[in-house]
Amino acid sequence: MAQEVRHNQEDSRYEILVDGTVAGFCEYCEDEGAGRRDFNHTVVHDGFQGQGLSKPLIKAALDDTREAGLGVVPTCSAVDGFIKKNPEYQDLVA
């Protein structure tokens, strides 16, 4: 099972692909003036749930956001929970 996370800037979301199929996504709204992304919705599609895909998806999204020099507003409960369980990401919270 090959996994890949890609940034789909056109749709303002990060997508996780399993064997080339989009298995889920983490959407955001970018507030360019404030320099932050509001992660507001995370989905793992039926048929892919229970495979532990949300963690690598959210991790990649946050790592890329950090690299871009942006902060995070964790409106999505999955993103908020990930940040609370992984204190190394708490400095991103705007």
pLDDT in tens, 52-90: 999 999 999 999 999 999 999 999 999 999 999 999 999
At 91, give phi and psi (nearest 5°). -70, -15
Residue 33 has pLDDT above 80, yes or no: yes
* Number of domains the chain is built from: 1
Q: Which domain holds residue 67?
A: 3-92
Residue 44 has pLDDT above 80, yes or no: yes
Listed residue (84, 73, 80) closest to 29, CA to CA:
73
E strands, 1-94, where?
A: 3-8, 13-18, 21-31, 36-44, 71-74
Residue 1 has pLDDT above 90, yes or no: no
Q: What is the Cα–Cα distance from 62 to 66, expressed in whole angstroms?
A: 6
Predicted pLDDT at 42 = 98
CATH code assigned at 39: 3.40.630.30
Residues 6+ apart with CB under 8 A from 70: 30, 35, 36, 37
- Supply the mean pLDDT for the chain: 96
Facing residues of 43 across strands? 25
